[in-house]
């Protein structure tokens, strides 16, 4: 890095000394406001009325979503986690690492294209757009009331791709790793 001394940040001693903010929440309203402002400026995602949840990088959030929406009912098969190949390998490695009885990694999405809605299980379809590793803009393949689409838009920024329109989906994950390159800050 050239001239690192020019990029110093001063953090006041009083700043962020408690768990909560002045409104009693655990999440900084000021930060939420600035995140929404940035997205509105760039025009990559609809933010009106959206709830913003922070995580330790998007890696944590990718699995948190799968965990949060997996049913632990014995009447249903474990949820099926799928992604279209070639895909970011962490969808598979993380699902397998946590080895939950409530969800399993089930490989390529296309295998389930014809029959997902008839299967008695929740599907989590990871949609990565632009995709890692091939950079293609992609769309969900599965449809049905038992399908939850997790839109991983880590690279949906103008320095990686054209932004044809703001994305308007229920569940979208972004990360500072790819926006500014601050991967070590672990913020998604």
Ligand X SMILES: Cc1ncc(COP(=O)(O)O)c(C=O)c1O
Give the binding site for ligand X (CB under 6 A): 57-59, 88, 128, 132, 152, 154, 175, 177, 183, 188
To ligand X, the closest distance from the beta carbon of 59 in angstroms equals 3
Q: Find the radius of gyration of the CA atoms of the chain.
A: 18
Work out how close the CB of 83 gets to ligand X at its nearest, in angstroms, rounded to a whole number.
10
Looking at beta carbons only, is 89 or 144 nearer to ligand X?
89
Residue closer to ligand X by CB (options 125, 152) is 152
Q: Which is nearer to ligand X, 131 or 146 (CB)?
A: 131
Helix (DSSP H) and strand (DSSP E) numbers for the chain: 4, 5
What are residue 81's DSSP bridge partners? 105, 124
Least Å distance, CB 103 to ligand X, is 18
Residue 39 or 146: the one with the smaller Cβ distance to ligand X is 39
Output 88 or 112, the one with its CB closest to ligand X: 88
Least distance (Å) between residue 65 CB and ligand X: 12
As measured in angstroms, the least distance from the Cβ of 177 to ligand X is: 3
Dist CA 137 CA 80 (whole Å): 23
- The candidate with the shortest Cα–Cα distance to 25, out of 54, 49, 4, 45, is 54
Alpha-carbon distance of 163 to 115, in angstroms, equals 32
DSSP label at residue 77? P
Q: Which of these, 57, 84, 10, lies nearest to 182 by C-alpha position?
A: 57
């Amino acid at each position: 890095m050239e001239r690192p001394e020019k990029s110093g940040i001063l953090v006041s001693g009083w700043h962020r000394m408690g768990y909560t903010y002045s409104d009693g929440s655990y999440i900084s309203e000021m930060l939420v406001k600035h995140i929404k402002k940035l997205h509105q400026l760039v025009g990559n995602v609809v933010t009106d009325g959206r709830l913003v949840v922070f995580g330790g990088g998007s890696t944590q959030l990718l699995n948190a979503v799968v965990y949060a929406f997996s049913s632990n009912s014995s009447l249903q098969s474990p949820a099926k986690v799928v992604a279209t190949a070639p895909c970011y390998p962490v969808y598979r490695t993380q699902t397998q690492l946590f080895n939950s009885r409530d969800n399993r990694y089930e490989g390529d999405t296309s295998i389930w294209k014809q029959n997902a809605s008839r299967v008695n299980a929740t599907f989590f379809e990871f949609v990565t757009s632009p995709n890692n590793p091939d950079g293609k803009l992609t769309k969900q393949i599965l449809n049905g009331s038992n399908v939850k689409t997790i839109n991983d838009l880590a690279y949906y920024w103008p320095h990686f791709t054209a932004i044809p329109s703001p994305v308007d989906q229920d569940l979208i994950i972004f990360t500072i790793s790819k926006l500014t390159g601050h991967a070590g800050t672990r913020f998604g």
